Amino acid sequence: MRAARNADLWSGLALAALAVYIIVQASGWEYTGQDGPGPGFFPLWYGIAMAVLCVALVAASVLRGDKSDSVDWRGASRAFALWFALALSVAAFKLVGFVIGFAALCFFVVAVLYRRRAHVAAVVALALAASFYLLFPVLLGVNLP
């Protein structure tokens, strides 16, 4: 229960920081010139609207107390693990190329996240990586990262 209130509160504060950034940046650009509105005109207004809505969200979160629904973070570790694995494999593309980096990612998903045996993971990883290589650069002429 408390987690949801915190989620609204913290997401509201994070978006408020973005709103302040937009307003500060937009204030540095021309608001109106001889030819009409400048580059700062539109961002300034949606920045202000964002700030007002953030205040409403944060205030509602604080006033609502414990009445809000909870956010379930239990399964999030698997999602974040996949995201980090993907980040590592994308970073590795420059060094080892797409095929090897992607095969490693597939192996991780099958073996670690889905807890399948290593040989199953290896077969899936090799099959998927080989399929991508055959389909995109060889058959379609599309470059891989």
Partner 1 sequence: MEIFSGLVQGFAVALQPANLLWCLVGVVLGTVVGILPGLGPPATIAMLLPLTFLMNPSAAIIMLAGIYYGAKYGGSTTSILLNVPGESASVVTCLDGYAMARKGRAGAALGIAAIASFIAGTVGVVGLMLIAPPLAKVALAFSAPEYFALMALGLAMVVLLAGRSMVKALLAMLVGLWIAGIGTDPFSTTSRFTFGRLELLSGIDFVVVAIGLFALGEVLACMEGRDEARALPVPKGLRNLLPTWQDMKDCRFAFVNGSVLGFLIGVLPGAGSTIASFISYGVEKAVSRRPQEFGKGVVEGVAAPEGANNSETGRALVPPLTLGIPRSGTTAVLLAALVLWGFKPGPLFITENQSLFWGLVASMYIGNVMLLVLNLPLVPLFAQVLRTPGFVLYPLILGISIVGVYSVSGSLFDVGMVMAFGLLGYVMRKLDYPAAPLVLGLVLGGAMERALRQSLMMSQGDLSILATRPISAVMLSLALLILLMPLFHKLNAWRLQALEE
Which residues ranging from 7 to 46 are in contact with partner 1 (CB under 8 A)? 7-8, 11, 15, 18, 22, 25, 29-30, 32-33, 35-39, 41-43, 46
- In the bound complex, what is the minimum distance in angstroms from residue 65's beta carbon to partner 1? 16
- Dihedral sign from CA coordinates of 66, 70, 74, 77: negative
- Selected from 49, 96, 118, 134, the binder of partner 1 by CB under 8 A is 49
Residues 6+ apart with CB under 8 A from 12: 54, 57, 58, 61
Asked if residue 89 lies in contact with residue 104, where contact means CB atoms within 8 angstroms, the answer is: yes
Question: Tokens 């996949």 appear where?
Answer: 82
Is 79 a binder of partner 1 (CB under 8 A)? yes
How many chain residues bind partner 1 (CB under 8 A)? 61
Measured distance CA(66)–CA(76) in Å, rounded: 22
- Selected from 13, 20, 116, 126, the binder of partner 1 by CB under 8 A is 116
- Among the listed residues 128, 124, 90, the one whose alpha carbon sits nearest the alpha carbon of residue 110: 124
87: three-class secondary structure by DSSP:
helix
Asked if residue 103 lies in contact with residue 126, where contact means CB atoms within 8 angstroms, the answer is: yes
The residues binding partner 1 (CB under 8 A) are 7-8, 11, 15, 18, 22, 25, 29-30, 32-33, 35-39, 41-43, 46-47, 49-50, 53-54, 56-57, 60, 71, 73-76, 78-79, 82-83, 86-87, 90, 93-94, 98, 102, 105-106, 109-110, 113-116, 124, 128, 132, 136, 140, 142-145
